[in-house]
Structure 1
Amino acid sequence: MSDLSRTVFYDLHVELGARMVPFAGWEMPVQYAPGVMKEHLFTRESAGLFDVSHMGQVILRGPDVAEALERLVPVDIVGLAEGRQRYGFFTTDDGGIIDDLMITNRGDHLFLVVNAARKEADLEHLRLHLPEIEVEELTGRALIALQGPKAEDALAALNPAVREMRFMDVADVELAGASCWVSRSGYTGEDGFEISVPNTMGPRLMRALLESPAVQPIGLGARDSLRLEAGLCLYGSDIGETTSPVEAGLNWAIQTVRRKGGARAGGFPGADRILSELETGPARKRVGLLPEGRAPMRAHTALFAEAEGGAAIGEITSGAFGPSIERPMSMGYVPADHAMEGTTIFGEVRGKRLPATIAPLPFHKPSYKR
């Protein structure tokens, strides 16, 4: 793994007993001594601390920067208030998804957090299509996430001001002597915070948070099972350039003002397809699946309408055992006429077709502070 990048927390991960693995060009902790299941449950019950510094942090500056970014995303950026954050996605000319990202209005500029594996493609996309906008990749800041029902108490011990924040609020907060950009958001379905911190102060902040008995370090393994229970998409698995936002069930992220008949409708790549699917429905849909038994149906498992015969009608994109729901869970795509909740379909596992029931998402109810 000598050619992999390391975050500023690498030495601390090793000190804490992490098992390091390659991930999106980085050497990252997949788990610590307790293991994925215990780390998952600890996050649901207390507060898990994640290193997500591999993700890209980008600043956009320039004239009418919100209007400019709306040329690339089907999201209301102009109406995003200062100190607020919004989920969005870059779309292709065919209506697929180049990447999903978080967008923050920081007053005189926009702050984006993009996926690690898509960072270079995103930067190129922004610079190509927004030549009048300054696109700055931040390389001097780390990113950590504190997630779980005790996250507020743990972070408030360092600065009580965070108690006033609600879901998707963003603020400048002093933490353990570091000037941080804090958002009340995350990727687990739990209440929590994501914290952008200068690299030089990152390990100090992480150690300060870990002094609390309510906080433990959590690896990427539990992060994946937590987001799957929360019904959240993973880029490259559940969404990608061949998937439209409407197929993926991300309609909620496309505000009325950007839809047909809205004041700023269309004007983004793939608008014809996306706006049409919003009106008439997509040909296929992302669904939740609960397989029978204890064995997960994992990514690339073929899905069939019948227990025997017939061609595959879809495929699983993510699958794992859900520690909080105590059963296997999956997400995948099926034709719209097979997507009704309660429908039984079949996944082919080791040559056998096993039943799974289409279930509502998320599998685990979120606990965001609205």
Structure 2
Amino acid sequence: MIMELNMFQDLFKTPLHALHIEMGGKMIPFANHEMPVQYALGVRKEHIHCRKHAGLFDVSHMGQLRLHGVNAAKSLETLVPVDIIDLPIGKQRYALFTNKQGGVMDDFMVTNLGDHLFLVVNAAFKEQDIAHLRANLLGEVELEVIEDHALLALQGPEAAKVLASMNPAVAGMFFMDAAMLDLIGIECLVSRSGYTGEDGYEISVPADRANELARALLANVAVEWIGLAARNSLRLECGLCRYGHDIDTSTTPVEASLIWALSKVRCADGERSGGFPGAKIILEQVTTKNVSRKRVGLVGFRGTIARDGAILFNADDKEVGVVTSGTFGPTIGYPIAMGYISTPLATRGTIVFAEVRNKKLAMTVEKIPLVSQRYHRG
């Protein structure tokens, strides 16, 4: 009991902490917070429920920020290889902070709400990102750290139907749309996005009303609480990176197969090309496609899971890469992973071998995502 108390000492709690305990959530330390890793339903059933119906996630540990000022978009654009200036009002975009070596410092979501930009950054790197922004924002741009809001994610094929029962306007939103909407009398920022590969929404809600909204969503028979473990397997099946595992300061966006996240206006010839940290390295890789390794999906043949850090070998027992994320894929029914391997081997069907407990586990290189993403693009 003393060890358990020490484990949670000095950890932050989300506004929904008491509800997780009430609902039987198994709590663990995660990104400086006490978070539910699973519930009584169990990880596999939670995963499948989200794929078939609707899962509710507490992601209040993430950092929520606002950038105010007429130069907010121009200033943020100097830190990312992404088009922020022309991001339409009511639209959200995936973005990357890069460093001088072309590595990824963090990934985040940015939304244009007209009078300000709204950012959601990773929990474990929230303080780093805040410091980075404060040190590098140009002009009269004000950074506001939002402390009084929780963040919920409702994901799955029935998410739209569930949320539309609270406000029909959500049904007319498309992937990466965002709007201020009333949900059961609570003003919330709702975006049609998420981290599972499924259609769904993320909802920024005042902390003092988060419990009320969560209970109202859970009252729908289609909705179940989903913990961190199933969130991880869901995002891994759909090829979504986890910062600190699949991308970090040593990986460039091109190595990470994230060229799609680099805006053309920032990479093609023109006055807004480059101008972000590591631009020379990244743009050269975009042009030449010349990288020594690439991020790929991996599927195992047996029940053993290759976890992050497992070394990958070719048929000649030569080291060719490393696993960065690994778990069991309930949708696929096999162990799955993501990792980096030598570019010549980064083709679908290549057999590599992950070293797990001094044994070589055969895995097949597969195209990412391993399970098709089902975003509502209209």
- TM category, shorter: over 0.9
| Number of equivalenced pairs | 368
Residue type matched to 1:69 in 2? L
- Kindly indicate whether the alpha-carbon contact (under 8 Å) linking 1:307 and 1:353 is maintained by their aligned counterparts in 2: no
Q: Secondary structure at the match of 1:39?
A: helix
Q: Among 254, 271, 278, which residue is 1:270 paired with?
A: 278
Counterpart residue number, 1:17: 24
Counterpart residue number, 1:158: 166
Question: What is the CA–CA distance in structure 1 between the aligned matches of 2:152 and 2:244, rounded to whole Å?
Answer: 22
Q: Secondary structure at the match of 1:227?
A: helix
Question: What is the CA–CA distance in structure 1 between the aligned matches of 2:166 and 2:221, rounded to whole Å?
Answer: 14
Counterpart residue number, 1:327: 334
Counterpart residue number, 1:139: 147
- Kindly indicate whether the alpha-carbon contact (under 8 Å) linking 1:96 and 1:245 is maintained by their aligned counterparts in 2: yes
TM-score normalized with structure 2 length: 0.96
TM-score normalized with structure 1 length: 0.98
Q: Among 170, 183, 196, which residue is 1:188 paired with?
A: 196
Deviation at residue 52 of structure 1 after TM alignment: 0.1
Question: What is the CA–CA distance in structure 1 between the aligned matches of 2:316 and 2:225, rounded to whole Å?
Answer: 43
Deviation at residue 306 of structure 1 after TM alignment: 2.2
Q: Among 167, 171, 191, which residue is 2:175 paired with?
A: 167
- Kindly indicate whether the alpha-carbon contact (under 8 Å) linking 2:149 and 2:204 is maintained by their aligned counterparts in 1: yes
For 1:307-350, what per-residue CA distance to the aligned partner results, in whole angstroms no more than 9, with x for missing partners? 54x3x221000001100111111100011111111111111111
Q: Among 310, 313, 323, which residue is 1:304 paired with?
A: 313
Deviation at residue 250 of structure 1 after TM alignment: 0.5
- Kindly indicate whether the alpha-carbon contact (under 8 Å) linking 2:75 and 2:138 is maintained by their aligned counterparts in 1: no
Residue type matched to 2:276 in 1? F
Q: Among 205, 216, 219, which residue is 1:211 paired with?
A: 219
Residue type matched to 2:188 in 1? C
Counterpart residue number, 1:129: 136
Q: Among 334, 356, 362, which residue is 2:369 paired with?
A: 362
Residue type matched to 1:159 in 2? N
Q: Secondary structure at the match of 2:13?
A: coil
Question: What is the CA–CA distance in structure 2 between the aligned matches of 1:347 and 1:3, rounded to whole Å?
Answer: 37
Matched, 1:95 2:102: yes
Q: Secondary structure at the match of 2:217?
A: helix
Q: Secondary structure at the match of 1:341?
A: coil
Question: What is the CA–CA distance in structure 2 between the aligned matches of 1:285 and 1:252, rounded to whole Å?
Answer: 14
Counterpart residue number, 2:5: none
Question: What is the CA–CA distance in structure 1 between the aligned matches of 2:357 and 2:298, rounded to whole Å?
Answer: 18
Residue type matched to 2:375 in 1? Y
Counterpart residue number, 1:315: 322
Question: What is the CA–CA distance in structure 2 between the aligned matches of 1:294 and 1:320, rounded to whole Å?
Answer: 10
Question: What is the CA–CA distance in structure 1 between the aligned matches of 2:268 and 2:113, rounded to whole Å?
Answer: 29
Deviation at residue 62 of structure 1 after TM alignment: 1.5
Question: What is the CA–CA distance in structure 1 between the aligned matches of 2:271 and 2:223, rounded to whole Å?
Answer: 45
Residue type matched to 1:289 in 2? L
Matched, 1:288 2:318: no
Q: Secondary structure at the match of 2:12?
A: coil
Matched, 1:53 2:60: yes
Q: Secondary structure at the match of 2:327?
A: strand
Question: What is the CA–CA distance in structure 1 between the aligned matches of 2:363 and 2:93, rounded to whole Å?
Answer: 34
Residue type matched to 2:97 in 1? F
Q: Among 145, 149, 152, which residue is 2:157 paired with?
A: 149
For 1:39-67, what per-residue CA distance to the aligned partner results, in whole angstroms no more than 9, with x for missing partners? 00000000000000000000001132111
Counterpart residue number, 1:241: 249
Q: Among 195, 202, 206, which residue is 2:210 paired with?
A: 202
Residue type matched to 1:103 in 2? V
Matched, 1:340 2:347: yes
Question: What is the CA–CA distance in structure 1 between the aligned matches of 2:238 and 2:320, rounded to whole Å?
Answer: 25
Structure 1 residue ranges, 4+ long, deviating more than 2 angstroms after superposition: none
Q: Among 114, 126, 129, which residue is 1:107 paired with?
A: 114
Q: Among 220, 223, 227, which residue is 2:235 paired with?
A: 227
Residue type matched to 2:80 in 1? V
- Kindly indicate whether the alpha-carbon contact (under 8 Å) linking 1:152 and 1:192 is maintained by their aligned counterparts in 2: yes
- Kindly indicate whether the alpha-carbon contact (under 8 Å) linking 2:71 and 2:138 is maintained by their aligned counterparts in 1: no
Matched, 1:39 2:46: yes
- Kindly indicate whether the alpha-carbon contact (under 8 Å) linking 1:307 and 1:346 is maintained by their aligned counterparts in 2: no
Q: Secondary structure at the match of 1:145?
A: strand
Q: Secondary structure at the match of 1:313?
A: strand
Q: Which moved more, 1:319-328 or 1:347-356?
A: 347-356
| Unmatched runs of 5 consecutive residues or more in structure 1 | none
Question: What is the CA–CA distance in structure 2 between the aligned matches of 1:37 and 1:6, rounded to whole Å?
Answer: 25
Q: Secondary structure at the match of 2:283?
A: helix
Q: What is the root-mean-square deviation in Å for CA atoms of aligned residues?
A: 0.9
- Kindly indicate whether the alpha-carbon contact (under 8 Å) linking 1:151 and 1:193 is maintained by their aligned counterparts in 2: yes
Q: Give the % identical residues.
A: 54
Q: Which moved more, 1:341-350 or 1:52-61?
A: 341-350
| Unmatched runs of 5 consecutive residues or more in structure 2 | 1-7
For 1:241-295, what per-residue CA distance to the aligned partner results, in whole angstroms no more than 9, with x for missing partners? 1111111011001111011314411000000110011111222100111122121
Q: Secondary structure at the match of 2:323?
A: strand
Residue type matched to 2:247 in 1? I
- Kindly indicate whether the alpha-carbon contact (under 8 Å) linking 1:6 and 1:27 is maintained by their aligned counterparts in 2: yes
